Amino acid sequence: MGSYADSTGLGLDAAPSAQSSPDVFAPVTTTLPNGLRIICRYEKNTPLVAINVMVRAGQDQETAQNAGIASYVARTLLSSTSSNTPDQMTTDINAIGGNVAAVRQPDWLQVTALTVPDKFEDAALLVTNSLKDADFEPDIVASAKDDISSEIDGNDADLFQTAYQSVRNTFYGSSLYGLPSLGTLQSVKSITRSQLLDYYRKNFVPSHFIIVVDGDVTPDKALSVISNDLDPFPMDGRGSRHNDSIPILPLPTSDFKADHMVQPDLQEVVSMVGYQVAPMSSPDYPALLVANTILGGMKSSRLFTDVRETRGLAYELGSFYNPQLSSGDLVGYVFAAPQQPAPGAKDTTPITQVLSDAIIKQFNLLKTTPPTDAELARAKHYLIGSYLIKHETLQDRADLLGTAAVGTSAGADFDINYATYINAVTAADVSRVAAKYFNHPAICTIEPDTNPASVGKD
């Protein structure tokens, strides 16, 4: 099977950036005296303008008692301000095209707006007013609580999410990334409007904002509009966070106990194996991206070749690298039928153990068997090509530029020159990061419950 890059015709030097066009100019970054960072990229003749705000407010402030509060704030942020009722906010959002949203990421809350150039000033005012003047109208808060609770119930039935949450709990316990992003039914039920306002006032201050403006608006205009909208900023009672630094979590130094679950009425089994690795700010970030792609991130990966094509053990498998600001995790997974012969295994070996052993084997082999030149080239082609395609829409380009700015050590340059960073990774780099990080796995297996009297978890 040909690589992704073979099918697209992309070369290793392909630059995954809208800046390959002569009508796209290099981003201009400005930091205001109040700490606000504004990144403006002028894409001349683009019929739209995207606004993307990254607010440093994430799981570092959540506990078991208030888990999900960042998601709750995101759901209610754009509903009203002290000067705009929910109905007026809806009218204003529709007037600029309706493409306005707030979503929660693990380490930041993201506010996005997409509009036409003529409506840029209106869109910017709507977004900035929400950043400084949201009031979390009580009826909206109550309605959002019901919606989040229903979504939590749905996630509890998701096999993939259950296994991945187990892996994250193993690494991070009942704090930070170990907490479910939406929270629990108990925590969401207990969160009050007063707590939402307190969280908002502590975190929503200019020094926690990165604002990306991308599209058909000049940097001078974008900077003028955004800075005027956020000056003055009501700092009275705001910004009482005690720690603005980003802690890097230590790596595990000992093995973890495997988590084995049983669930009734399952028609499949899943084995998931993860390792705690570096955050996106680490110099190892590009090498970990390549390592993940070789391991299980593409159809010609080692996991796919060994577990599915050679051994015929799985119908769905892969790996993914989830980089955050304080840590990261790189996870391999296999879904399979619950009853099937396992080549080379004793009849008494559970299929879930066979699968987890197969995943661990490929992680370990990456330490001792460096990627071949062909593997390395395929992985780089795939990463560069995939990243290029992710830039297809203006909103995606603004999102990727902002993510690089808030999370990577290279800042916005990581997005602009992504191919350069990926191409610099060597086979030795891949083996080095494998040896450094793939040592203490978190293992979760889930299989059908064959004992009707048993309870959910061993």
Residue 179 lies in a domain: yes
Q: What is the mean pLDDT of residues 29-45?
A: 94
- The whole-number pLDDT of residue 453 equals 56
Same domain, 321 and 215: no
Cα–Cα dist 344/425, whole Å? 36
Cα–Cα dist 8/388, whole Å? 11
Same domain, 61 and 181: yes
Residue 207 lies in a domain: yes
Q: What is the mean pLDDT of residues 372-378?
A: 97
Torsion angles phi and psi, residue 452, rounded to 5: -60, -20
Same domain, 210 and 72: yes
pLDDT digits (tens, 9 = 90+) for 315-347: 899 999 999 999 999 999 999 988 655 555 555
Closest among 211, 210, 224, 217 to 25, alpha carbons compared: 217
Average pLDDT over all residues of the chain = 89
Q: What is the mean pLDDT of residues 446-451?
A: 84
Same domain, 223 and 341: no
pLDDT digits (tens, 9 = 90+) for 137-189: 999 999 999 999 999 877 666 899 999 999 999 999 877 789 888 999 999 99
Q: Please identify, among 185, 209, 229, the residue that sits at the C-terminal boundary of a domain.
A: 229
- The whole-number pLDDT of residue 458 equals 45
Residue 199 lies in a domain: yes
Residue 6 lies in a domain: no
Same domain, 327 and 408: yes
Q: How confident is the model at residue 313 (pLDDT cuts 50, 70, 90)?
A: confident
Same domain, 214 and 356: no
Beta-carbon count within 10 A of 239 CB:
16
List beta partners, residue 387.
none
Q: Are 49 and 215 in contact (CB under 8 A)?
A: yes
DSSP string of 40-107?
A: EEEBTT-S-EEEEEEE---GGG--TTTTTHHHHHHHHTTS-BSSS-HHHHHHHHHHTTSEEEEEE-SS
Cα–Cα dist 423/409, whole Å? 17
Same domain, 275 and 321: yes
Q: Are 113 and 127 in contact (CB under 8 A)?
A: yes
Answer yes or no: is pLDDT of 399 > 80.
yes
Percentage, residues of the chain above pLDDT 70: 89
- The whole-number pLDDT of residue 10 equals 41
Q: How confident is the model at residue 134 (pLDDT cuts 50, 70, 90)?
A: very high
The CATH number of residue 338's host domain is 3.30.830.10
Same domain, 189 and 63: yes
Same domain, 182 and 275: no
Residue 247 lies in a domain: no
Same domain, 204 and 326: no
Same domain, 174 and 50: yes
pLDDT digits (tens, 9 = 90+) for 193-245: 999 999 999 999 999 999 999 999 999 999 999 999 998 888 888 886 656 67
When divided into structural domains, the chain yields a total of 2
pLDDT digits (tens, 9 = 90+) for 354-365: 999 999 999 999
- The whole-number pLDDT of residue 174 equals 76
pLDDT digits (tens, 9 = 90+) for 81-94: 999 999 999 999 99
Residue 64 lies in a domain: yes
Cα–Cα separations (whole angstroms), residue 316 to 272, 273, 333: 12, 15, 8
The region of weakest confidence among 71-75, 148-152, 374-378 is 148-152
- The whole-number pLDDT of residue 67 equals 93
Residue 365 lies in a domain: yes
Q: What is the mean pLDDT of residues 256-273?
A: 93
Q: What is the mean pLDDT of residues 351-380?
A: 96
Answer yes or no: is pLDDT of 6 > 70.
no
Residue 98 lies in a domain: yes
Same domain, 158 and 270: no
Q: Which range of residues forms the domain containing residue 278? A: 259-448
Answer yes or no: is pLDDT of 394 > 70.
yes
Q: Please identify, among 183, 210, 229, the residue that sits at the C-terminal boundary of a domain.
A: 229
Closest among 77, 320, 74 to 183, alpha carbons compared: 74
Q: Please identify, among 229, 244, 271, the residue that sits at the C-terminal boundary of a domain.
A: 229
Cα–Cα separations (whole angstroms), residue 368 to 21, 291, 297: 42, 13, 19
Cα–Cα dist 394/24, whole Å? 12
